[in-house]
Structure 1
Amino acid sequence: MVNHHIKVIQALASGVLEGGRGTSGTPFPQQPEKALKLYEFEGSPFCRRVREVLTTLNLDYEVYPCPKGGNKYRQIVKEKGGKLQFPFLIDENTGDQLYESQAIIHHLFKHYGKTGNTPKKYAHYPNIPYVALAGTVVNGARGIWINQNIKDRAAPKHLLELWGFEASPFTRVVRAELAELEIPFIFHNVPKECWQDQGPAVLRLKPGQYHPVKGGKREQVIKLMNRDKKDIQVPYLVDPNTNTKLFESKDIVEYLKHQYGK
């Protein structure tokens, strides 16, 4: 328990270092018809840049973890793109396959943003990601290396599904575990869509009963989760391979280790 709390605190500090990027997003995303496929690993600061923008645009995407030492998806990146470099995005809607975080970010805003233009704050990242790299270090460099216990284990038959958002420390702890276990999953972004969403589910800034943006993505997700409370709690994991549905990051991590980490 203590170890898990430390991980959450480190993940929270990592998000603070990034200035809260990857927290808020549009309630009405332009979701692509075919799923975006992102080959990446949790601890990479360059991959983190892309995930932050995917949260800002509130886009869902498939994640194929490529931790160092992994052998399931790194080879696919080499075969499709010609080199082992991450992140690597495949967009079957446009036919593009892209390396370089800045190129991927421009692509995402061009095709899935409201104006087609990359906002200034996302248009010019430094060549060396000092801030994101510091965030990775503070987070204990989790999600970089594969768990050696499962190196030769086959991936689950069906993609797991995870609801969360980039800057959520609880979600980050789960994503790191998925990366180290090399488990592919669909990531459903549910960022903060308005000021009333700020704060954890048990302590919203807005007094009184909480209501998500009407017709927004959060409202749709609440219905999907069949929550008695009219609010969202993340992370939320669904594993169709075992028909398992879980809230609470600690429970999810323990489940992943028990089911896929031995």
Structure 2
Amino acid sequence: MSIPNAFDTLTSGLSSICRLPKGTTVLRSESSDITLLRLYDIENSVECRPVRERITELDLDVGLVVPSAVGGSSFRDGTIPSGVVPSLVVAEGGNGEETTLFGTEEIISFFDARFPVPKRDDDDDVFSSKILPPLLSAGNAIASALRFGRGRDVSPSSVEAPRPKNPLVLYSYEGNQFCRLVREVLTELDLPYRLVSSGKGSRKRADLAARTGGSSQCPYLVDEDNGIEMAESADIVRYLYKTYGRYVPPNKLLGVISRFIMVPLGGPIFRATAPLQAGKSLWGESEDPSIYEADVAKAKEEILRETSADDIVIYTYKLSPFSSEATELLRNLEVPFKEISFGNEWIPGLLADGCAAKRAALLEMTGMSSLPHIFIRGKSIGGIYSGSPGLLKAVEKGTFMDMVAEFKNTKDEVTV
């Protein structure tokens, strides 16, 4: 799911390593009459990352970070200055006159002019001046690749979801892998937030420790609307989806694998092997075809009985990440369901006794033998990413709960 796991922590950590020493330590912390009002930003953008790194290093806060991914509210409303991301709106001097800076180069040049950082003794050596810059440039691209599918697009989960009246407040710094996991979701849920930079050496860390009773751990989220304050990236992400999303989206990488590998390549294999595993010969006959036909007929009766007994039934494999994503999505939707396992996987030796015939029966009944497979009161809706309409597509369109209500007190006949 989109709740951070060990793999997310690993890849986010590697993303931070790719950009070391950028975005972790405060290099200059003097007060200034310059205020960063709004930053139009996309978390997993190679253009936006250097800007956020410099904000951490200069210990600057941002009044409002505005997620600006395609499909988001700022993109739809045309509020992104000249459509350029990143863009930064700043106020200078006592009169608070606003200036808008467009693009990475202009923003970084502004920072260099207004917030000069003392040069270190090794800044002019060959490694720092000639070798490190191209390494960091390559590292920027690798950092985005490591977090493929996260923090760049607006999730359908955010559509028609509640919005906070007051901006969320996030204590964060760019190079922290756990902060990144939270910022990705803020982009995906299209949630503007006030950024309190809290890099290593930041004076804001003392403020955070005073607020929390001693801890300066980042990330730290403040939701003034609901009186909520919390640390721990997984807890924050779970809270954001529950409060400002319609559901917790499944893993996007698995969706890509399903679309481009499992459905076009795996689907024919699953359909071809299901009857064979159930006892049908390669040539369409067996020594006793009646045995195969009887096994499949019995399996169909069992499927009809199982799928009609509960409102929602899902057939799964224990070792399948697609199955675990589907069951987790159902749990996050808070709907009761019955899970029936076909064993560890479809491979011979891992399939549970009697389930080869059930795979063949599913194929004849629905045209699909792959799992997970979800039924609502006996009617197939397919798997998590595929089928008619498929679990995720129904959830994204907002029709899943309607389907549950529609079939709750009826039993649709499954064509055999």
User: CA–CA distance in 1 between the matches of 2:164 and 2:133?
Assistant: 36
Q: In structure 2, what is the Cα distance between the partners aligned to 1:129 and 1:85?
A: 21
Q: How does 1:44-193 map to 2 (within 5 A)?
A: 44-61=45-62, 62-73=64-75, 75-77=78-80, 81-82=81-82, 84-93=83-92, 95-113=98-116, 129-153=137-161, 155-193=163-201
1:222 corresponding residue in structure 2:
209
The whole-number CA distance in structure 1 between the counterparts of 2:190 and 2:54 is 23
1:248 corresponds to: 232
Partners of 2:33 and 2:185 lie apart in 1 by 27
Secondary structure of the structure 1 residue equivalent to 2:243:
helix
TM-score (normalizing by structure 1): 0.78
TM superposition shift of 1:32 = 4.5
SS of 2:73's equivalent in the other structure is coil
Code of the residue aligned with 1:159 in structure 2: it is P
CA-atom RMSD, angstroms? 2.8
Q: Secondary structure at the match of 2:114?
A: helix
Bigger share in helix:
2
Q: CA deviation at 1:154?
A: 6.1
Q: Distance in 1 between matches of 2:21 and 2:146?
A: 15
Cα pair 1:238 1:245 within 8 Å, conserved:
yes
Asked whether the equivalents of residues 165 and 189 of structure 1 are also in contact (C-alpha less than 8 Å), the reply is yes
C-alpha contact (below 8 Å) 1:174/1:249 kept by paired residues: yes
Hey, what's the Cα distance between the residues in 2 that align with 1:26 and 1:148? 39
Amino acid at match of 1:85: V
* Aligned mates of 1:226, 1:3 — CA distance in 2: 23
C-alpha separation in 2, matches of 1:153 and 1:131: 35
Q: Structure 2: how far apart are the matches of 1:247 and 1:32?
A: 31
Q: Compared with structure 1, are the counterparts of its residues 45 and 32 closer, same or farther at alpha carbon in structure 2 (3 Å cutoff)?
A: farther
Q: Deviations over 1:111-144 (max 9, x none)?
A: 23457xxx8879x977x94321210111234110
Q: CA distance change for structure 1 residues 220 and 19 in 2, over 3 Å: closer, same or farther? A: same
State the identity as a percent: 27
Helix, strand or coil for the counterpart of 1:45? coil
Quote how far apart the aligned CAs of 1:221 are. 2.9
TM-score (norm 2): 0.51
Partner Cα distance (1:32, 1:187) in 2: 18
1:30–1:112 CA contact under 8 A, matched in 2 = no
Shift of 1:171: 0.4
**SS of corresponding position for 2:171:** strand
Q: Is residue 38–residue 88 contact of structure 1 (8 Å, CA) maintained in 2? A: yes
- Cα gap change, 1:29/1:151 in structure 2, threshold over 3 Å: closer, same or farther? farther
Question: Residue 41 in 1 paired to residue 28 in 2?
Answer: no
- Number of residue pairs matched by the alignment: 230
Q: Shift of the alpha carbon at 1:72?
A: 3.0
Question: Which has the larger Rg?
Answer: 2
The 3 A distance-change label for structure 1 pair 134 and 154 is same
1:95 match: secondary structure = strand
Structure 1 letter corresponding to 2:69: P
Following the alignment from structure 2 to structure 1, what is the Cα–Cα distance between the partners of residues 107 and 161?
A: 31
Offset, 1:178: 0.4
Rate the CA distance shift 1:156–1:251 in 2: closer, same or farther, 3 A. Answer: same
